[in-house]
A and B are shown apart, each in its own frame.
Chain A
Amino acid sequence: MVNNIVKTVVNNETPVVNLLESPRHSCTFGGAYTATNAVKGLVPILHTGPGCGWTNFFGLVAGSGGGFLGDLGAMQTPSSSLLEKHIVFGGEDKLRDLLNSTNELMNGELFVVIPGCIPTMIGDDIGMVVNEFRAKNNTPIIHVKTSGFNGNSYKGYELFLDAVIDQLLEEPVKVKKGLVNIIGIAPCQHIFWKGDLKELQRTLELIGLEVNPIFGDLKGIESLKKIPEAELNIVVNPWLGKEVADKLETKFGTPFIVQYGLPVGPRETEHFVQDVGKKLGIPREKIDQAIQKEIKEAYQFYNYISNGLYMGLANSYFGVAAESNIAIGLTRFLTNDCGMMPTVVIITDDPPLKNRESIKQRLTEDINSINKPDVIFEIDTYNIEKILQNYPNLIVLGSSMEKYFSADKLSALHLTVSFPAYDRMLLRRTYSGFFGGINLLEDLMGKMSRPF
C-alpha cells in the first residue's frame, strides 16, 4: 500500500499527530449504538444528524467481521436526523416527536436515547425530554451521555453500561449465588465478541456458574436487570469496563476481578477459571475435576497440530497490532504455549495512561521466551506500519489494514485478529477458552501455502 499522507516530523523521530490515519475506533455514539443493538429487544433512538447512525453502524459492524446486529440496527433505527432548523431553534421538540412516534410504531423492552455531538453544541436538554417521556409512558427509557465529543467507541460501551446502572437498575437486590457478569468485551470493537462471550460463558458454566454475558444472548432486558444480582463481576479486559465494575461495586456491593487479557489456550484458561473459583470460594479440586476433560481434549488437538507447528513455525518471530485484551491473550499463548518469539506488541485501543504499565507487565513478565517484546501504544495506522517495519517478523497478527502491507513490505504471514476485520466473517469464532488456541493455530497454519 502506498501511503501518501505526509506528516510533520520533529527531530526526524516523532511525527506530530495532527491527523490520525485510519483510526481503529469510532466515537462514544458508535460504541453506545452497537452496545444497544447487541442486547435483544432494546430500541436505539438516535438524536443527531442524519449521517451519524449510518456511518457508525456500518463502520463498526462491517469492521467487526460483518453480519448484522440487532433487530433495529441501521435502516430500522429511529433517528431525529437533525436539520438546520433544529440547529437554530433547538432539537428538543424533534426528540419529543421522535420518542412519541417510536412509542406508537415500535415494540421494545427498553428505549435507549443516544445523542450525537450536535445536540450538545446547541444545548438540547436531553435528560429533561427523556424524563418527561418516562413520566407519561410505561415504556422504560434511558439516555446515554454520549453527546459532546466525549471520547471513542470504547468509552461509548462504558457510557451505555453507566446509563443502565444509573437509570434502569434499582436497589435493593438479592444476590443470586453463582451468578456472574462478564464485562470488558465491547460489541463490535472486540471483533470476536460474539464467539468469545459464548465461549467464556460455556467455560465458566463448567464450574457450575450461571453466566450473564449481558450482550449477545437472547434474554434481552433481563440480561441488564440481572446485572446487580451477580455474586461477582468478571472484567475480562486489562482496562475496559473497570470503571463500570467499580461503579457496580459502589452501588450494589458486587465485588469484581480483573482478568488481564483474554485467556487463550488451556494454560491461561485454567488460571482464569481457578482465579474466578477462588474468588467465589469454589474448592480447587472441584474445579480441577470440572475442567480436566477440557484440558485433556485441548492437548489432544495440539498433538494433531504439533508436527506442523514445530516444523513450519518453530520459534517464529511474530509481531502483534491489536487491542490490549487480544494482544495479551494471543502473545502469551503463542509465546508460552507454542514457543514463538514476540518482537513487538502494538496496543491499538488507546488505554488510559494509568493502565498502561499493567498491560506492559502482562506482555513482558512471566513470558517464556529469550526475548521480551517491545510494547508500544499507537493508534495511527501509518505509524503502526512504520513500527512493524523495524522488526523481522515472520507472522503479523493485526487488523485487516495490515494485510497487504505485511505481504508486500514484510513478506510475513498475516492474520486478522483485531479491529477492523474486513477480510473475515466472524460469527462464533473465538480464540478464548481451552480450545481458543487451537482455533488460532488452525487459522494461522491455514494461511501457509505448502508445496505438497
Chain B
Amino acid sequence: MSKIRNIAIYGKGGIGKSTTSSNISAALSEEGYKVMQIGCDPKSDSTNTLRGGQFIPTVLDTLRSGKRVETDEFIHDGFNGIKCVEAGGPEPGVGCAGRGIITAIELLKQRNVFEDYSPDVVIYDVLGDVVCGGFAMPIREGIAEQVYTVSSSDFMAIYAANNLFKGILKYANNGGALFSGIIANSVNLPEQQDILNDFSKKTKTTITEFVPRSLTVTRSELRGRTVIEAEPDSEQAGIYRSLARKIITNGHKYVPSPLDVDGLKSWAQSWSDRLLGQGEAPGRINCSLEHGVQIAEEEAVRAR
C-alpha cells in the first residue's frame, strides 16, 4: 500500500472550508486519486456537496447507539467514488464536541478504515478555530502531515489562522503536523491580496492559491453539488483544479511563526491605517454581494 497523503484543512467558521475541501476532493478524484474526506464537525455537513446535499450517518452515531455498526454504515460513496465520512458529535449545547472528534478519529483507526479502504488522499475538514485539544487532534500524533488554512482577508479569519499556527507550533516538536499553506478564499481585490500576502510574510508562511468569491459556488452549493461536479467548465472549477494539483504536488511543510497577541493587533492596526489613508474603501464587493444574494434566491426557488 502506498503511503496515504493526510491533509487537514482548518479555518474560521463559515470561511469556506467545506466548500474548498469538497472541491479539492472532487478535483483530485477526477485526476484518478482515491480520496476520502472526513468532516470533523458536529454539524456533519462537510461532505454534503459531494453527496447531492444528503446527510450521512456519522461515526459517532455508532457510539451513540451502542450497537455494533459496520464501517460501511458510516463510510459512504460520494461524487466520483469519493469516500465520505462525518465524525459527528453531540447536539448543540450538550456534551463535548472536542472529545467527540478525538473519539471519532480513534474509532476510525481502531476499525482499520485507512488500511481497508486504502485511499491515496485523506482530507480532514476541521471545524473552525483550534479552540481546544479536541479540534487539534488532526494535527497531533501524526494523523495529518500537512495542514492548510482557509482564510479571507477579514481580521477574524486571520486571527483564527494565527491561532492555528500557534497550535501547529505547539505540537511541531512532538510528531505533529506541519503547515503547508494558506488558501486565500473570497479574495477579489488587490488590497485583500496585499493584506494576506503581508500576513503570510509576517508569519513566514506561503499562500497556495487565491480563490475569488464567485456566484458559481453559490449556484452549485444550492444544488447540493461541488463546482467541479455542477459547473465543470467554469472558471471557478479551473481554480479549484489548480489548487488541488498544487496541494497534491506540494510536499513542502514547515513550522509557521505565529504573531503574538500584541504583534497581531499592531499589524492589524497598521493595515487599518493604510486602508484609511487610501480614502473610501472600494465598494465593488458589497455591490456584487447584494447582486449575488438575489441570484442565489432565484436559484434556490428553481432548485425546489
Structural contact, A89 and B64, CB atoms closer than 8 A: yes
Give the chain B neighbours of A122 by CB distance below 8 A.
Answer: 94-96, 99
Interface size class of B (residues with CB under 8 A): 10 to 19
Q: How far is it, in angstroms, between the C-alpha of A408 and the C-alpha of B60 when the chains are bound? A: 57
**B134 and chain A: residue at smallest CB distance:** A88
Structural contact, B99 and A87, CB atoms closer than 8 A: yes
* Of the residues B64, B66, B91, B95, contact of A87 by C-beta under 8 Å: B95
Q: Is A85 part of the binding interface, using a Cβ–Cβ cutoff of 8 Å?
A: yes
Structural contact, B94 and A123, CB atoms closer than 8 A: yes
Give the chain A neighbours of B89 by CB distance below 8 A.
Answer: 88
Q: How far is it, in angstroms, between the C-alpha of A90 and the C-alpha of B95 when the chains are bound? A: 4
Structural contact, A92 and B94, CB atoms closer than 8 A: yes
Q: Is A171 part of the binding interface, using a Cβ–Cβ cutoff of 8 Å?
A: no
Structural contact, B96 and A121, CB atoms closer than 8 A: yes
Give the chain B neighbours of A366 by CB distance below 8 A.
Answer: none
Q: Which of B63, B96, B103 has the most CB of A within 10 A?
A: B96
Q: Is B283 part of the binding interface, using a Cβ–Cβ cutoff of 8 Å?
A: no
Interface residues of A in 65-97 (CB under 8 A from B): 84-92
Q: How far is it, in angstroms, between the C-alpha of A85 and the C-alpha of B94 when the chains are bound? A: 12
Structural contact, B93 and A88, CB atoms closer than 8 A: no
Q: Is B138 part of the binding interface, using a Cβ–Cβ cutoff of 8 Å?
A: no
Give the chain B neighbours of A90 by CB distance below 8 A.
Answer: 90-91, 94-95
Q: How far is it, in angstroms, between the C-alpha of A89 and the C-alpha of B90 when the chains are bound? A: 5
**A83 and chain B: residue at smallest CB distance:** B63
Interface residues of B in 66-110 (CB under 8 A from A): 66, 89-91, 93-97, 99-100, 103
Interface size class of A (residues with CB under 8 A): 10 to 19
Give the chain A neighbours of B96 by CB distance below 8 A.
Answer: 87-88, 121-122
B88 to chain A, nearest CB (A): 9
Structural contact, A84 and B103, CB atoms closer than 8 A: yes
Q: How far is it, in angstroms, between the C-alpha of A92 and the C-alpha of B90 when the chains are bound? A: 12
Interface residues of B in 212-262 (CB under 8 A from A): none
Structural contact, B103 and A123, CB atoms closer than 8 A: no
Residues 89-113 of chain A: 1 if any B CB is under 8 Å from the residue's CB, otherwise 0? Answer: 1111000000000000000000000
B270 to chain A, nearest CB (A): 38
Give the chain A neighbours of B63 by CB distance below 8 A.
Answer: 84-85, 88-89
Interface residues of A in 146-196 (CB under 8 A from B): none
Give the chain A neighbours of B64 by CB distance below 8 A.
Answer: 85, 89
Give the chain A neighbours of B60 by CB distance below 8 A.
Answer: 88-89
Structural contact, A123 and B95, CB atoms closer than 8 A: yes
Q: How far is it, in angstroms, between the C-alpha of A90 and the C-alpha of B100 when the chains are bound? A: 11
Q: How far is it, in angstroms, between the C-alpha of A202 and the C-alpha of B264 when the chains are bound? A: 69
Interface residues of B in 38-66 (CB under 8 A from A): 60, 63-64, 66
Give the chain B neighbours of A123 by CB distance below 8 A.
Answer: 93-95
A110 to chain B, nearest CB (A): 28
Give the chain A neighbours of B90 by CB distance below 8 A.
Answer: 88-90
A177 to chain B, nearest CB (A): 51
Structural contact, A84 and B94, CB atoms closer than 8 A: no
Give the chain B neighbours of A86 by CB distance below 8 A.
Answer: 95
Q: How far is it, in angstroms, between the C-alpha of A357 and the C-alpha of B76 when the chains are bound? A: 69
Give the chain B neighbours of A89 by CB distance below 8 A.
Answer: 60, 63-64, 90-91, 94-95, 100
Q: How far is it, in angstroms, between the C-alpha of A121 and the C-alpha of B90 when the chains are bound? A: 14
Q: How far is it, in angstroms, between the C-alpha of A19 and the C-alpha of B94 when the chains are bound? A: 33
A97 to chain B, nearest CB (A): 13
Residues 402-425 of chain A: 1 if any B CB is under 8 Å from the residue's CB, otherwise 0? Answer: 000000000000000000000000
Give the chain B neighbours of A85 by CB distance below 8 A.
Answer: 63-64, 66, 103
A157 to chain B, nearest CB (A): 30
List chain A positions with a Cβ less than 8 A from chain B: 84-92, 121-123
A-B contact pairs, 12 of them (CB 8 A): A85-B66, A87-B99, A88-B95, A88-B99, A88-B103, A89-B63, A89-B94, A90-B91, A92-B94, A121-B96, A122-B95, A123-B93
Given A87-B95, A88-B90, 13 other A-B residues pairs in contact with their CB atoms under 8 A:
A84-B99, A85-B63, A85-B64, A85-B66, A87-B99, A88-B63, A88-B99, A88-B100, A89-B64, A89-B100, A90-B94, A122-B95, A123-B95
List chain B positions with a Cβ less than 8 A from chain A: 60, 63-64, 66, 89-91, 93-97, 99-100, 103
User: Sorted from nearest, which 9 A-B pairs have the closest CB atoms?
Assistant: A90-B94, A90-B95, A88-B100, A89-B95, A122-B96, A89-B90, A85-B63, A87-B99, A122-B95
